[in-house]
């Protein structure tokens, strides 16, 4: 898309179109390999998260919740999509062992969302991969734009730092799997961003006792991102 096109459509609409146009078959082999590595790494982290208090509480919250769209809670049975996404994201991020880059904890949101939505809509493996790639790409690019410019040369955590942009990863992955139109994806991004949590990493890192919600409530943002896509699909 040219600069002129972007000025006409807006940055959010350009991101929405990009998320829907990503073709995994055209992605470099290194990108495909890294995407699968991230998937496996996050699954291992989620299994390990089952022993944590936060992970157990989140999984217990989803237990017994049922609805028209359901996905499996890691280590348990199927539950309604939104509680399942919340629980699986908390499990993946519980130990902070999932893959993390300069853009923060995007993988812990993109992977559980893609897996849960793909299961709920009975998507194919290729569709799952496309949704996962869309979530990682959008979350990573938005995060890079927010974080990298003020991270260069920094010797300590900036006063305002977090992973609120993970909300875009959730909406992108869910929206791609739900087959949203560009306009619907554009709206999903707006709704998801509105529900992103405050960037409190600096505050948490300086606290003697970090809360279970940690530096960013990734479970809430993952759930909100999926809900945003579902709302956008309904107009």
pLDDT in tens, 73-114: 999 999 999 999 999 999 999 999 999 877 889 999 999 999
CA atoms within 13 A on the CB side of 215: 21
Q: Helix 166-177 and helix 125-147: axis angle, to 10°? A: 160
Q: Is residue 2 very low, low, confident or very high in pLDDT (cuts 50, 70, 90)?
A: very low
Q: Compute the C-alpha angle 15/223/173, nearest 5°.
A: 35
Q: Are 24 and 126 in contact (CB under 8 A)?
A: yes
Q: Is residue 203 very low, low, confident or very high in pLDDT (cuts 50, 70, 90)?
A: confident
Q: Is residue 151 very low, low, confident or very high in pLDDT (cuts 50, 70, 90)?
A: low
- pLDDT of 87: 98
- pLDDT of 4: 44
- pLDDT of 3: 41
Q: Which of 60-64, 140-144, 149-153 has the lowest mean pLDDT?
A: 149-153
Please count the residues of the chain.
235
Q: Are 175 and 227 in contact (CB under 8 A)?
A: no
Residue range 107-125: average pLDDT?
98
């Amino acid at each position: 898309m040219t600069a002129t096109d972007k000025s006409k459509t807006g940055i959010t609409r350009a991101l929405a179109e990009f998320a829907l146009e990503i073709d995994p078959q055209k992605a470099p082999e290194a990108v495909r390999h890294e995407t699968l590595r991230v998937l496996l790494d996050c699954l291992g982290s989620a299994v390990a998260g089952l022993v944590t208090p936060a992970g157990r509480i989140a999984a217990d919250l989803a237990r017994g919740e049922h609805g028209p769209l359901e996905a499996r809670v890691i280590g348990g049975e199927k539950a309604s999509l939104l509680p399942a996404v919340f629980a699986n994201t908390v499990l993946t991020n519980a130990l902070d062992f999932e893959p993390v880059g300069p853009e923060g904890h995007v993988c812990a949101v993109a992977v559980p969302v893609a897996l849960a939505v793909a299961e709920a809509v009975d998507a194919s493996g290729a569709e799952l991969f496309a949704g996962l790639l869309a979530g990682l790409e959008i979350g990573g690019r938005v995060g890079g734009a927010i974080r990298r410019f003020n991270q260069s040369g920094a010797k300590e955590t900036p006063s305002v730092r977090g992973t609120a942009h993970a909300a875009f990863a959730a909406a992108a992955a869910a929206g791609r799997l739900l087959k949203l139109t560009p306009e619907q994806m554009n709206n999903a991004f707006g709704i998801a961003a509105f529900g992103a949590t405050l960037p409190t990493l600096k505050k948490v890192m300086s606290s003697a006792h970090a809360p279970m919600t940690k530096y960013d409530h990734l479970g809430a943002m993952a759930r909100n991102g999926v809900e945003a896509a579902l709302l956008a699909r309904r107009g």
